[in-house]
Amino acid sequence: MTVYAIIGGTGLTELDGLTISAVLNLDTPYGAPSAPVLRGNYAGREVLFLARHGHPHRIAPHQVNYRANLWALKHAGAQAIVAVNAVGGIHPAMGTGHFCVPHQIIDYTSGREHTFFEGELEHVTHVDFSYPYDAALREQLTAALATGGCAFSGEGVYACTQGPRLETVAEIARLERDGCDIVGMTGMPEAVLARELELPYACLALVVNPAAGKSTGIITMAEIEQALAEGIDKVKAVLARVLAE
């Protein structure tokens, strides 16, 4: 039976209902992960959980040690990863509270440690990243969203920006011209590191605000926090349905 790992993003620093059997403080060749890897039972299945930003939420998107996080999950026994991400909505369909299971991603970040294949290598390694998200895992997520009656899009292009600041109106206009539907700060290099480790990986994105210029007002943290509070129970229910199936 597949051992799933859940990477919790903003608003999901702990997984209520997880019966913890082990707290794994793992050393990695890349430094310390954001938090201990929790092993336990959720929805009747063994699962691993890692808080991407630490617990409490304290690590900015550009400072997350993505390599340590992915290495730790792999060596804890993860066989597939569901990443939960809070995002801004660019496409008109991506309103606050909407879910998206992206099928593509564009990386706008810089300066992040983005590969395991560097240093003194015996040979250069390239991984195919044409389709960054695992198709079967995406289908599981969309089926769970449909069963739960959630408003969702089964496709979308995720724009990953550097952060920690939010984007300008002009930057969002550029991302829209590039074909992006949602925008976040943590989708990369997480996705490609999972690919390098041969771990199936998919993203469950919750829209928590309209992107810059997509509403009449400015974006506030109060708005984002309210959307997270209203949407996080749905996120947990979707994860439970995926694991139960």
In three-state form (DSSP H/G/I as H, E/B as E, the rest C), the secondary structure along the chain is: CCCEEEEECCCCCCCCCCEEEEEECCCECCECCCCCEEEEEECCEEEEEEECCCCCCCCCHHHCCHHHHHHHHHHHCCCEEEEEEEEEECCCCCCCCCEECCCEEEECCCCCCCCCCCCCCCCCCCCCCCCCCCHHHHHHHHHHHHHCCCCEECCCEEEECCCCCCCCHHHHHHHHHCCCCEEECCCCCHHHHHHHCCCCEEEEEEEEEECCCCCCCCCCHHHHHHHHHHHHHHHHHHHHHHHHC
pLDDT value of position 44: 83
CB 100 within 8 A of CB 94: yes
pTM: 0.93
Provide CB contacts within 8 A for 240, sequence distance 6+: 17, 42, 43
pLDDT value of position 190: 98
- Per the structure, the count of domains in the chain is 1
- Residue-range definition of the domain harbouring residue 48: 4-244
pLDDT value of position 182: 98
φ, ψ for residue 20, nearest 5 deg: -80, 130
pLDDT value of position 180: 98
Instruction: Say if strands 37-42 and 45-51 run parallel, antiparallel, or are unpaired.
Output: antiparallel
**CA 49, CA 232: separation in Å to the nearest integer?**
16
Q: Which segments of the chain have a pLDDT < 50?
A: none
Binding residues for phosphate: 10, 52-53, 186
pLDDT value of position 173: 98
Residue 232 belongs to a domain with what CATH number? 3.40.50.1580
pLDDT value of position 11: 63
pLDDT value of position 17: 77
Binding residues for substrate: 185, 209-211
CA angle at residue 184 from 213 to 98, to 5 degrees? 75
Binding residues: 10, 52-53, 185-186, 209-211
